[in-house]
Structure 1
Amino acid sequence: MTMTAPSTAPSPTAQKPLAFELSREREAQLLAGARKSVRVTTGKIWALRVLIIALWLGSWEATATYLIDPFFYSKPSLIWDRLVQWFSTGTQFGSVWENLGFTVLEAVLGFVIGTVAGIVLGVLLGRSRFLAEVFSPFIKAANAVPRIVLAALFILWFGFDISSKVATVVVLVFFAVFFNAFTGAREVDGNVVNNARILGASKAKILTSIVLPSATTWILSSLHTAFGFALIGAIVGEYAGAKKGMGMLIANAQGTFDAAGIYAGMIIVTIVALLAEMLITTAENKLLKWRPSEAKTQAQGI
């Protein structure tokens, strides 16, 4: 009687976990490579940005020193001196931090009010074609009114206090958010809404569970532009007439032919706008975690 040696080949059940582990290891390697590629690309982008800024400032400094009159065009060294003066000894109208605080407060209050109003009315009219048809000409007419005219009217109505500046900001922010919220509400998949109705979902449930989440991407994308408009509205309102604020400092610099002061005010407002953009981007990434990351998308070959 002959005896056969037991087979040493792994069973299918033993091969599956091994193949699964190899697949997971390969995916991890691809993801790590994609992340490294993203970091390298980001480093190159920032290096190029810094180089562009250095070349721009250097050429401006040289041109204003040897070719053009710095009294009218200023130059980076004079702007830096003005910034140092404002932050160290203050301005003619008090501390620069106090003036900046007024502008930021006006922008934030108007941004919040305008955003809430834009989302509510945008979603409401986006889900009701009848109301959209009724109010469409009025909204278009209001959006066509020059904002600088409204800023002057608000000063007449509310005076030089913060109310007139907030009203100007609200008008600018509202339309930026409204049209995106309106479009986002209109773009909701009708089949999903109909299926929810068949399953017995109420209008409120459809609104909170389907319409608003679907329109979130549209709304959040509008906030990046909306806060920029908020700062513009605050500056325009202060430029038209105010007791404090960065817009008033810029207007005063213009009236005294202080080109460096104008640029200094612009730089401060720009930095605030960039910081706000970072905060909005962070909030957007947290609220939209369901979106695939860039590194994971590259690893999957998409």
Structure 2
Amino acid sequence: MKIALVRIVLVVAWLASWELAATYWIDPFFYSKPSLVAARLVEWFAQGTSQGSIGVQIAVTLEEAVVGFVLGSLAGVVLGILLGRSPLLAEICAPFIKAANAVPRIVLASLFVIWFGLIGPASKIATAFVLVFFAVFFNAFQGAREVDRNLVNNARILGASPLQILLTIVVPSATSWILASLHSAFGFALIGAVVGEVVGADKGLGLLINRAQGNFDSAGIYAGMIVITVLALVAESLLTALEKRLLKWRPPATNTDKPV
């Protein structure tokens, strides 16, 4: 309760200082202020945006982010576990993966527009996919390599097949690594979808932010950022609940550090 109260006080103090600064010292045309951002949010949800209903814009961005998140996560998990359990294959693919990871992936959004078209979700999903894939892949790869060798050897002695070892030992052992990466991966998926919409789209939150920028509407930019942040926080809470459910079998961590 005390922590929540401190957080509320900090937020209120920050908003109040911003409001006062934009009223008396800095130009609200460039920096906006909380009252203007709140008014823009009320306008969007009550009357709609210049591109139509705010619900439609949220739904479009969410669809692109979720599809990119699911596809990128699946590809990252499968390839990460496959290479993590195959040292030879990992050695062969290592330079190609490092080279692909070194490419500024946000820049690929412009290339995806050429490949998949300006209008439609394909280019945005592709941008979200590449951002999610590497975030999940490296965790799945490391998780597959961290599996207890003695446990795997014992399973082989007992006659377990490679598929049984994979499904009953490797995947459960790597689950915590994979789930940890998913928390940041959905944020990357949202970033990919929004960046793709900023580059070119006919709907979505990224388009609203792009139009607000073109009109020097700083309140609209902040309002778009707030909506995206709320979506990311809701997704984070859902992923946390999923993580607790999937890792229910693990014993609770004990804190061995005692205060002196």
Query: Shorter-chain TM-score category?
Result: over 0.9
Q: Deviations over 1:15-36 (max 9, x none)?
A: xxxxxxxxxxxxxxxxxxxxxx
Q: Which runs of 4+ in 1 moved over 2 A?
A: 290-294
Shift of 1:290: 2.6
1:219 maps to 2:212: no
What is the aligned partner in structure 2 of residue 85 from structure 1? 43
Letter in 2 for 1:129: P
Shift of 1:146: 1.1
Structural mapping, 1:1-302, within 5 Å: 43-160=1-118, 161-293=120-252, 297=254
Shift of 1:189: 0.6
Instruction: Give the unaligned 5+ runs of structure 2.
Output: none
Q: Deviations over 1:128-177 (max 9, x none)?
A: 00000111111111111112321000000101210010011000000000
Bigger Rg, which one: 1
Q: Deviations over 1:252-273 (max 9, x none)?
A: 1001000000000000000000
Letter in 1 for 2:61: T
Letter in 2 for 1:137: P
Root-mean-square deviation (CA), in Å?
Answer: 1.5
What is the aligned partner in structure 2 of residue 16 from structure 1? none
Letter in 2 for 1:212: V
TM-score by length of 1: 0.83
TM-score by length of 2: 0.96
Q: Deviations over 1:91-117 (max 9, x none)?
A: 111111101100000000000000000
Shift of 1:45: 1.4
Instruction: Tell me the distance in 2 between the aligned counterparts of 1:214 and 1:225.
Output: 20
Instruction: Tell me the distance in 1 between the aligned counterparts of 2:227 and 2:252.
Output: 33
Instruction: Tell me the distance in 2 between the aligned counterparts of 1:180 and 1:196.
Output: 24
Instruction: Give the unaligned 5+ runs of structure 1.
Output: 1-42
Instruction: Tell me the distance in 2 between the aligned counterparts of 1:56 and 1:292.
Output: 40
Letter in 1 for 2:121: I
Shift of 1:44: 1.6
Letter in 2 for 1:121: L
Instruction: Tell me the distance in 2 between the aligned counterparts of 1:292 and 1:215.
Output: 16
What is the aligned partner in structure 2 of residue 21 from structure 1? none
What count of residue pairs does the alignment treat as equivalent? 257
Instruction: Tell me the distance in 2 between the aligned counterparts of 1:169 and 1:148.
Output: 9
Letter in 2 for 1:92: S
Letter in 2 for 1:269: I
SS, match of residue 143 in structure 1 = helix
SS, match of residue 202 in structure 2 = coil
Shift of 1:291: 3.4
Letter in 1 for 2:233: L
